[in-house]
A and B are shown apart, each in its own frame.
Chain A
Amino acid sequence: GEDVEQSLFLSVREGDSSVINCTYTDSSSTYLYWYKQEPGAGLQLLTYIFSNMDMKQDQRLTVLLNKKDKHLSLRIADTQTGDSAIYFCAEKGGQGGKLIFGQGTELSVKP
Protein backbone atom coordinates (compact mmCIF):
# COMPACT_ATOMS: atom_id res chain seq x y z
CA GLY A 1 0.00 0.00 0.00
CA GLU A 2 0.94 3.64 -0.03
CA ASP A 3 3.37 4.78 2.62
CA VAL A 4 5.35 7.95 3.28
CA GLU A 5 8.25 8.02 5.74
CA GLN A 6 10.11 10.88 7.37
CA SER A 7 12.53 11.23 10.23
CA LEU A 8 10.87 12.79 13.27
CA PHE A 9 13.32 15.47 14.39
CA LEU A 10 15.92 17.84 12.98
CA SER A 11 17.84 20.51 14.84
CA VAL A 12 19.92 23.21 13.14
CA ARG A 13 21.54 26.53 14.01
CA GLU A 14 20.14 29.79 12.70
CA GLY A 15 21.72 30.66 9.35
CA ASP A 16 22.55 27.05 8.47
CA SER A 17 20.77 25.05 5.78
CA SER A 18 18.16 22.48 6.78
CA VAL A 19 17.47 19.36 4.76
CA ILE A 20 14.33 17.37 5.50
CA ASN A 21 14.04 14.00 3.82
CA CYS A 22 11.08 11.88 2.83
CA THR A 23 10.61 8.54 1.11
CA TYR A 24 7.44 7.29 -0.50
CA THR A 25 6.26 4.03 -2.00
CA ASP A 26 3.58 4.86 -4.56
CA SER A 27 5.41 5.18 -7.87
CA SER A 28 2.23 6.38 -9.58
CA SER A 29 2.11 9.58 -7.51
CA THR A 30 2.06 12.55 -9.83
CA TYR A 31 2.23 15.30 -7.25
CA LEU A 32 4.30 15.58 -4.10
CA TYR A 33 3.85 18.29 -1.51
CA TRP A 34 5.50 19.87 1.47
CA TYR A 35 3.27 21.28 4.19
CA LYS A 36 4.31 23.38 7.17
CA GLN A 37 2.55 23.27 10.54
CA GLU A 38 3.42 26.00 12.98
CA PRO A 39 2.70 25.47 16.69
CA GLY A 40 -1.03 25.46 17.40
CA ALA A 41 -1.96 25.95 13.77
CA GLY A 42 -3.26 23.92 10.87
CA LEU A 43 -1.24 22.83 7.85
CA GLN A 44 -0.24 25.27 5.15
CA LEU A 45 1.00 24.29 1.73
CA LEU A 46 4.64 25.29 1.46
CA THR A 47 5.60 24.02 -1.98
CA TYR A 48 5.00 21.16 -4.39
CA ILE A 49 6.68 19.36 -7.24
CA PHE A 50 5.46 17.42 -10.25
CA SER A 51 6.76 13.88 -10.49
CA ASN A 52 8.35 14.62 -13.88
CA MET A 53 10.59 17.28 -12.32
CA ASP A 54 13.92 16.71 -10.57
CA MET A 55 14.18 20.00 -8.79
CA LYS A 56 12.15 23.05 -7.94
CA GLN A 57 13.45 26.22 -6.35
CA ASP A 58 11.27 28.81 -4.64
CA GLN A 59 13.24 31.55 -2.84
CA ARG A 60 14.91 29.85 0.16
CA LEU A 61 13.26 26.52 -0.57
CA THR A 62 14.66 23.84 -2.86
CA VAL A 63 12.80 20.61 -3.50
CA LEU A 64 14.72 17.67 -4.91
CA LEU A 65 13.00 14.58 -6.27
CA ASN A 66 14.72 11.30 -7.02
CA LYS A 67 11.98 9.32 -8.64
CA LYS A 68 14.11 6.19 -9.08
CA ASP A 69 14.76 5.99 -5.33
CA LYS A 70 11.34 7.50 -4.43
CA HIS A 71 13.11 10.09 -2.33
CA LEU A 72 12.00 13.67 -1.81
CA SER A 73 13.86 16.36 0.10
CA LEU A 74 13.21 19.92 1.19
CA ARG A 75 16.19 22.22 1.66
CA ILE A 76 15.71 25.49 3.52
CA ALA A 77 18.60 27.90 3.00
CA ASP A 78 19.61 30.38 5.71
CA THR A 79 17.23 28.81 8.22
CA GLN A 80 15.58 31.27 10.59
CA THR A 81 13.92 30.79 13.99
CA GLY A 82 10.58 31.45 12.25
CA ASP A 83 11.14 28.27 10.25
CA SER A 84 10.73 26.20 13.43
CA ALA A 85 7.71 24.01 12.74
CA ILE A 86 6.65 20.52 11.77
CA TYR A 87 7.12 19.76 8.07
CA PHE A 88 5.01 17.10 6.39
CA CYS A 89 5.65 15.59 3.02
CA ALA A 90 2.61 14.21 1.25
CA GLU A 91 1.80 12.43 -1.96
CA LYS A 92 -1.47 12.54 -3.82
CA GLY A 93 -2.82 9.14 -4.55
CA GLY A 94 -5.29 6.53 -3.61
CA GLN A 95 -9.00 6.70 -3.79
CA GLY A 96 -10.46 10.10 -4.54
CA GLY A 97 -7.03 11.67 -4.80
CA LYS A 98 -6.48 11.80 -1.08
CA LEU A 99 -3.28 13.08 0.44
CA ILE A 100 -1.04 10.52 2.13
CA PHE A 101 1.13 12.16 4.75
CA GLY A 102 4.43 11.28 6.33
CA GLN A 103 4.82 11.38 10.10
CA GLY A 104 6.12 14.93 10.05
CA THR A 105 9.62 16.22 10.84
CA GLU A 106 9.90 18.66 13.72
CA LEU A 107 12.47 21.29 12.80
CA SER A 108 14.05 23.13 15.70
CA VAL A 109 16.16 26.20 14.89
CA LYS A 110 18.56 27.33 17.60
CA PRO A 111 19.85 30.92 17.70
Chain B
Amino acid sequence: EAQVTQNPRYLITVTGKKLTVTCSQNMNHEYMSWYRQDPGLGLRQIYYSMNVEVTDKGDVPEGYKVSRKEKRNFPLILESPSPNQTSLYFCASRPSGMGILETQYFGPGTRLLVL
Protein backbone atom coordinates (compact mmCIF):
# COMPACT_ATOMS: atom_id res chain seq x y z
CA GLU B 1 0.00 0.00 0.00
CA ALA B 2 1.31 3.42 -0.99
CA GLN B 3 1.75 5.48 2.13
CA VAL B 4 3.67 7.98 4.18
CA THR B 5 4.42 6.85 7.72
CA GLN B 6 5.50 8.92 10.68
CA ASN B 7 6.79 7.93 14.09
CA PRO B 8 5.99 8.49 16.80
CA ARG B 9 2.33 9.47 16.46
CA TYR B 10 2.27 11.10 19.87
CA LEU B 11 5.14 12.49 21.91
CA ILE B 12 5.42 14.38 25.18
CA THR B 13 8.84 15.76 25.99
CA VAL B 14 10.53 18.47 28.04
CA THR B 15 12.22 21.68 26.97
CA GLY B 16 15.71 21.13 25.62
CA LYS B 17 15.60 17.38 25.15
CA LYS B 18 16.56 16.55 21.57
CA LEU B 19 14.06 14.55 19.57
CA THR B 20 13.61 13.16 16.09
CA VAL B 21 10.37 12.48 14.24
CA THR B 22 10.84 10.00 11.45
CA CYS B 23 9.08 10.07 8.09
CA SER B 24 9.20 7.39 5.45
CA GLN B 25 7.45 6.97 2.08
CA ASN B 26 7.28 3.92 -0.17
CA MET B 27 6.26 5.64 -3.41
CA ASN B 28 9.75 6.54 -4.66
CA HIS B 29 8.85 10.24 -4.47
CA GLU B 30 11.58 12.80 -4.98
CA TYR B 31 9.90 15.65 -3.09
CA MET B 32 9.26 15.49 0.66
CA SER B 33 8.28 18.17 3.13
CA TRP B 34 7.36 18.85 6.72
CA TYR B 35 4.45 21.01 7.89
CA ARG B 36 3.19 22.06 11.26
CA GLN B 37 -0.50 22.62 11.88
CA ASP B 38 -1.65 25.09 14.51
CA PRO B 39 -5.22 26.24 15.27
CA GLY B 40 -6.22 29.22 13.17
CA LEU B 41 -2.99 29.12 11.17
CA GLY B 42 -3.51 26.16 8.87
CA LEU B 43 -0.46 24.25 7.70
CA ARG B 44 2.87 26.00 7.44
CA GLN B 45 5.84 24.47 5.71
CA ILE B 46 8.93 23.92 7.86
CA TYR B 47 11.43 22.37 5.44
CA TYR B 48 11.31 20.63 2.13
CA SER B 49 13.56 18.44 0.04
CA MET B 50 13.55 18.23 -3.73
CA ASN B 51 15.70 15.10 -3.74
CA VAL B 52 18.39 13.22 -1.84
CA GLU B 53 20.90 15.57 -0.21
CA VAL B 54 18.86 18.62 -1.33
CA THR B 55 16.96 20.40 1.43
CA ASP B 56 15.68 23.95 1.82
CA LYS B 57 13.86 26.10 4.34
CA GLY B 58 10.14 26.58 4.23
CA ASP B 59 8.22 29.34 5.95
CA VAL B 60 8.93 28.45 9.59
CA PRO B 61 12.31 26.66 9.77
CA GLU B 62 13.60 28.15 13.04
CA GLY B 63 14.34 25.52 15.67
CA TYR B 64 14.20 22.61 13.23
CA LYS B 65 16.67 20.58 11.20
CA VAL B 66 16.16 17.95 8.54
CA SER B 67 18.27 15.51 6.59
CA ARG B 68 17.71 13.57 3.38
CA LYS B 69 20.32 10.84 3.14
CA GLU B 70 18.00 8.38 1.45
CA LYS B 71 15.12 8.97 -0.91
CA ARG B 72 12.50 7.31 1.27
CA ASN B 73 13.34 8.97 4.62
CA PHE B 74 13.10 12.58 5.74
CA PRO B 75 13.49 12.91 9.51
CA LEU B 76 12.63 16.11 11.37
CA ILE B 77 15.02 16.98 14.19
CA LEU B 78 14.38 19.32 17.09
CA GLU B 79 17.76 19.88 18.71
CA SER B 80 16.42 21.82 21.69
CA PRO B 81 12.62 21.77 21.69
CA SER B 82 10.71 24.65 23.24
CA PRO B 83 7.03 24.93 24.23
CA ASN B 84 6.23 27.01 21.14
CA GLN B 85 7.02 23.93 19.08
CA THR B 86 4.04 22.13 20.58
CA SER B 87 2.03 21.36 17.48
CA LEU B 88 0.72 18.75 15.08
CA TYR B 89 3.33 17.81 12.48
CA PHE B 90 2.73 16.36 9.06
CA CYS B 91 5.18 14.85 6.64
CA ALA B 92 4.23 14.80 2.95
CA SER B 93 5.70 13.51 -0.28
CA ARG B 94 5.01 13.79 -4.00
CA PRO B 95 6.69 13.13 -7.34
CA SER B 96 8.97 15.90 -8.54
CA GLY B 97 6.83 17.14 -11.42
CA MET B 98 4.80 20.34 -11.26
CA GLY B 99 1.61 18.98 -12.80
CA ILE B 100 -1.81 18.83 -11.22
CA LEU B 101 -1.58 15.15 -10.41
CA GLU B 102 1.68 15.59 -8.58
CA THR B 103 -0.17 16.43 -5.45
CA GLN B 104 1.09 15.64 -2.02
CA TYR B 105 0.41 12.54 0.04
CA PHE B 106 0.30 13.20 3.74
CA GLY B 107 1.34 11.11 6.69
CA PRO B 108 -1.05 10.58 9.63
CA GLY B 109 0.53 13.30 11.76
CA THR B 110 2.64 13.47 14.92
CA ARG B 111 1.21 15.30 17.89
CA LEU B 112 4.03 16.85 19.94
CA LEU B 113 3.73 18.42 23.38
CA VAL B 114 6.79 20.21 24.78
CA LEU B 115 6.57 20.94 28.49
Contact = CB atoms under 8 A, between A and B. Distances in A.
Interface of A: 4, 6, 8, 31, 33, 40-45, 48, 50, 88, 92, 95-99, 101-104
6 contacts: A6-B42, A41-B108, A43-B106, A88-B43, A99-B104, A101-B42
Given A33-B103, A41-B108, A42-B106, A103 B33 contact: no
B106 A44 contact: yes
3 smallest CB-CB distances across A and B, nearest first, come from A42-B106, A101-B43, A103-B42
Interface residues of B, number: 26
A1 B114 CA distance: 31
Interface in B41-78: 41-45, 48, 50, 56, 58
A41 B45 CA distance: 18
Interface centre among B31, B42, B102 (most CB of A within 10 A): B42
B109 A42 contact: yes
Interface string B99-115: 01011101111000000
A6 B56 CA distance: 27
